[in-house]
Amino acid sequence: MRGARPLQGVRVVELAGLAPAPFCGMVLADFGAQVVRVDRPGSPGDPSPLARGKRSLVVNLKLPQGPAVMRRLCALADVVLEPFRPGVMEKLQLGPETLLRENPKLIYARLSGFGQSGRFFQVAGHDINYLALSGVLSRIGRSGENPQPPMNLLADFGGGSLMCALGIMMALFERTRSGKGQIIDASMVEGTAYLSSFLWKTQLTGLWDQPRGQNMLDGGAPFYTTYKTADGGFMAVGAIEQKFYELLVKALIADPRRKPIWAISITMTGVVLFDFAADFIDGPIKAYLFDVCTHQDKERGLHYHALFTGLGGALGYLLGAIDWAHLELGRLLGTEFQVMFFFSSLVLTLCFIIHLCSIPEAPLRDTAKDTPPRQAPQDPASSSDRMYEYGSIEKVKNSYVNPELALQGGKTKNPPAEQTQRTMTIKSLLRALMSMPAHYRCLCISHLIGWTAFLSNMLFFTDFMGQIVYHGDPYSAHNSTEFLIYQRGVEVGCWGLCINSVFSSLYSYFQKALVPYVGLKGLYFMGYLLFGLGTGFIGLFPNVYSTLVMCTSFGVMSSTLYTVPFNLIAMYHREEQEEQRQQAQGGGLDSSRRGQGLDCAALTCMVQLAQILVGGGLGFLVNVVGSVVVVVITASAAALIGCCFVALFVRYID
């Protein structure tokens, strides 16, 4: 510092103590104050650098003349710096009230750990205790490890010494106007809490709302942390701003524009195959369920299928909601995405093994090779056109259930006409679909509307949470606060989807108990209505807590889509079987039999068609409107339209 120092001529009396008070006195001395340190008899003084620029005076305050010497010294001083616990100076008749009567311009600074009042004011402590009480210690350290104090810099020297020095400076400035001294109570706990004001205030913005070690400025971001180097040292990286981040990437990667095309291609292929397998397995499962179970077991199976679908969805969303990057497993596998794919592969492999080992299947014998050809009786009504009936691909039964009968030539009593198996072609399949009865067609349309509404919300829900509810920006730099806030919103969105899946499972379990009271029509209508109202509410009034609560309506819709339409399919077929049985008793012929497999397949195809509509249409709507809020509004509108459709056009059987 050039020229006269700002505290030149200011006289300070510092009572010897531990590090915080000596450091405060050193700061005052460095800026020109004349600091006299009062030491105890027999003490070696202060050999540390904190004694820089000070003079020492030994005074025995336990002797009668000791306090008198101190009063004469303080009468000529501008500042007294006292580091003792409350009440010590008062016992010596050297309290602030006594000294201020003798020197009204005196600034009496009291520097202590817990302050002059409160629950702990008489308790001794150290830096780590003050940090803990201020709350700051809980925010310092690596994720998954114990909190680590930054030596004794923060509470002792930051919240104590420097805050006390600042208070002395302001009191000296105020004295130039009023001519009066004052008492300064510098608490290390309160000073540390004051220094951490930015930390607590920015929790609401998403900057410090993650657990310890998982925020942008505490080592939780790859561009603001330390890395171990090859020589055993460490390198600190702080590239928060976009231009510095680009320089870091440029230095680490020779050509950042080069893309690993082969890796992208393999990833896309894997995702397509994985999605294909996950989506298209649903139809065969329901077809198998309908083919081998009684009507009561079909209903029970559908409810259990929806229940386990919800539990599986909850597990998947839970994996996405956890920040694996700061856990040991995430560090071991590399990224949080690798953790999620690892668990997906593990669950898929486990379920595959269980599936192979669960139900042994007897091989189907080719009876055409083992038995001589027999001329099947031709029924005039069973012409070749009959295979074009809707769903005729299914329900071609093999009468050789017993392998021994097959070896005997297949001699059974009263072989049914349906024994003659016909080949299903693409042409006949399309004809069967085009000849779909009206009530099946209405059910498929309602299913399409429902899945369009549901997928419109679910596929973009996390993006809605990040942008609309949390006001983040996915297009900003990945090391910006806006992007980190968006990521936080996405994580909370995953928790919302997890709530949806859990509630879907619970609703599926209790859904059967509601059928006698409201019927399938009531369940169908209620599912669409609650979903439409819930999505409309969060679209009009986006809020974190209300949105999470409304995620329960998503679960109602999910369970409804997985159970009610297929229950209706089962009831349609049950009704048709009764009609066929009555026709058979009356001598009529079964010329309109449909297979349940094709019915399930047609209904399941509506899910894929809804994905095409959502994928092709919502992106365009978002670009036109400029906000993803249109996503939930569209979902709400589609659900309410579907609500009217299921009430007016879908056929129900009492």
Catalytic residues: 126, 156
Q: Report DSSP state, residue 371.
A: S
Lay out the sheet containing 54-58: strands in order across. 54-58, 34-39, 11-15, 79-82, 107-112, 183-187
Q: In terms of Cα–Cα distance, which of 362, 359, 430 is closest to 393?
A: 430
Chain centroid, CA 138 distance in Å = 22
Is the Cβ–Cβ distance between 571 and 653 less than 8 Å? yes
For helices 282-292 and 596-625, give the axis angle rounded to 10 degrees. 150
- Burial of 323 per CB tally in 10 Å (0-12, 13-18, 19+): middle
Is the Cβ–Cβ distance between 148 and 177 less than 8 Å? no
Is the Cβ–Cβ distance between 16 and 58 less than 8 Å? no
Is the Cβ–Cβ distance between 347 and 380 less than 8 Å? no
Q: Tokens 């009529």 sit at which residue?
A: 588
CA atoms within 13 A on the CB side of 288: 7
Question: 619 is written with which tokens?
Answer: 């992106």
Long-range contacts of 327-334 (CB under 8 A, 24+ apart): 327/143, 327/144, 328/144
For the CA atoms of 89, 94, 95, 100, what is the dihedral angle to 10 degrees? -160
> Is the CA virtual torsion 111, 81, 25, 31 positive or negative?
positive
- Tell me if residue 54 falls in helix, strand or coil: strand
Strand 11-15, strand 34-39: pairing:
parallel
- Tell me if residue 12 falls in helix, strand or coil: strand
Which strand (E) or helix (H) includes residue 490?
Answer: helix 481-540
Integer Cα distance of 554 and 302 in angstroms: 18
Q: Tokens 């669409």 sit at which residue?
A: 528
> Is the CA virtual torsion 388, 389, 391, 392 positive or negative?
negative
Is the Cβ–Cβ distance between 550 and 654 less than 8 Å? no
Q: Tokens 């509630």 sit at which residue?
A: 503
For residue 498, give every residue at least 6 positions away whose Cβ sits within 8 Å of its Cβ, in sequence order, or none: 313, 314, 317, 318, 321
